[in-house]
Amino acid sequence: MARVGLREWLALAPVIASGRLARYNGSEGGPLAYFEAAFSDKFDVKHTLTTSNGTGALIAALVAAGIGPGDEVLVPAYTWIATAAAPLAVGAVPVIVDIDATLTISPSDILRKITPATRAIIPVHMANMACDMDAIMKIARDHGLIVIEDACQAVGVSYKGRRVGTIGDLGAFSFNQFKNISIGEGGAIVTNNDEYFARARMYHDIGAVFRGHLDNANMPPIPGINLKASQIQGAMLKVQLRKLDPMLRRMRERRAMMADIIARNPNFRVGPSHDPAGAAGLHAIFETQDDAMAFARAQKRGVQRIHDSSRHIFSFWQPILEQRPIHPKMNPYAWTERKVQYPPDMCAASLDILKRSCRISVGENYPQPLMRYLAHGMARWGNENPGLLRPSPGYRNS
Please give the positions annotated as active site: 179
Residue pair 185/179 in contact by the 8 Å Cβ criterion:
no
How far is 66 from 44, CA to CA, in rounded Å?
A: 24
Identify any residues that bridge with 300 across adjacent strands, giving them in sequence order. Answer: none
Question: What type of residue is 135?
Answer: A
Contacts of 296 (CB under 8 A, 6+ apart): 303, 304, 305, 308, 358
User: For residue 122, what are the CA distances in angstroms to 86, 87, 154, 319, 390?
Assistant: 10, 10, 14, 19, 33
Contacts of 88 (CB under 8 A, 6+ apart): 94, 320, 325, 332
Question: What type of residue is 190?
Answer: V
How far is 123 from 186, CA to CA, in rounded Å?
A: 20
Phi, psi of 129 (to 5 degrees): -120, 120
Residue pair 233/32 in contact by the 8 Å Cβ criterion:
yes
How far is 98 from 354, CA to CA, in rounded Å?
A: 11
Choose among 247, 248, 268: nearest CA to 376: 268
How far is 67 from 88, CA to CA, in rounded Å?
A: 10
How far is 227 from 28, CA to CA, in rounded Å?
A: 16
